[in-house]
Amino acid sequence: MKRLRGTWAVLAGLLPGLAFGAIGRVEVLEGTASRHPMGGVSRPLAVGADVEVKDTLEVGPKSNLKLTLNDGSVLMLGEGSQLFINVADFEGQERKGFVARLGLGKLWASVKKALAGSDAKFEVETDRAVAGVRGTRFRVDAAAPTYMGALSPRTLVQVAEGQVQVMPRMLVRSTPLEKASKERTQVPGPQEVTQEQWTERIIQLQADRQVVVDAELGTAKVGTLDRKVAGDAFGRFVTRNQGPKTP
């Protein structure tokens, strides 16, 4: 059985147009949204529509979207959001793993707790951070790039319930002394020597806390949850549609 599942996974990777199984469904849609299957054509979404792994979801202006995943976890996206579902592995109502990339916009998630002993992950990535959880409620905002082709300059992660592990990614530039040292160092092989490198560290965020990762300032600032952000138009959509606490 494992070999057969592995064969289908390989085929799915080789044939982008191959239909994947539904991994979630649209529960609420205010305004417009669309899904763009990998290798396929963009299609408008409606309440009751299925979403699949490798879909890119896009939410229109003045619009909001709520999805329920196969394990009962909930995702909500605000206007202008773009989300690519990279990994979505479910066995019935049990989550084996979920990874999505928020290109820009606002995302809120209520993640169902994994079974005891399970290492099933749930991660949301941006250009500036990775937020990973087991079961909690949290929000991620990714600022729009300042020009075409640029990375998102800023990411905000807020925790409403439970705990979230955040790995900020910030570009660190070498000092003049480090640059001179690198110029004197011989590097074996045809690899490129740069004066920039990415630095990562792990931040554990508890409920009612947030972190702002600002690439331009080169900082990851942890503090109390900003209620003004949590209470914006998207936050009010979340409040209307979030339902009971995380199961």
DSSP letters, 120-180, are: -EEEEE-SSEEEEESS-EEEEEEPPPSSTTPPP-EEEEEEEESEEEEEEEEEEEPPHHHHH
- How far is the C-alpha of 224 from the C-alpha of 213, rounded, in Å? 14
Structure tokens, 208: 């009612």
Within-domain flag for 168: yes
Within-domain flag for 158: yes
198: pLDDT strictly greater than 90: no
Within-domain flag for 247: no
The pLDDT of residue 93 is 84
- DSSP for residue 86: E
Average pLDDT of every residue of the chain: 82
- The residue segments making up the domain with residue 221 are 24-241
Within-domain flag for 132: yes
78: pLDDT strictly greater than 80: yes
Q: For 5-20, what is each residue's pLDDT tens digit?
A: 444 444 444 444 444 6
Q: What is the tally of structural domains in the chain?
A: 1
| CATH code, domain with 171 | 2.60.120.1440
Return the half-sphere exposure (C-beta side, CA atoms, 13 A cut-off) of residue 190: 0
Within-domain flag for 192: yes
Band of pLDDT at residue 91, cut at 50, 70 and 90? confident
Cβ-contact 157, 118 below 8 angstroms: no
- How far is the C-alpha of 148 from the C-alpha of 187, rounded, in Å? 33
Within-domain flag for 15: no
Q: For 143-192, what is each residue's pLDDT tens digit?
A: 999 888 888 989 999 999 999 999 997 665 544 444 444 444 444 443 33
214: pLDDT strictly greater than 60: yes
Within-domain flag for 17: no
Within-domain flag for 40: yes
Band of pLDDT at residue 89, cut at 50, 70 and 90? very high
- How far is the C-alpha of 78 from the C-alpha of 143, rounded, in Å? 12
- In total, the chain counts a number of residues equal to 247
Type of residue found at 86: N
Judged by DSSP in three states, 5 sits in helix
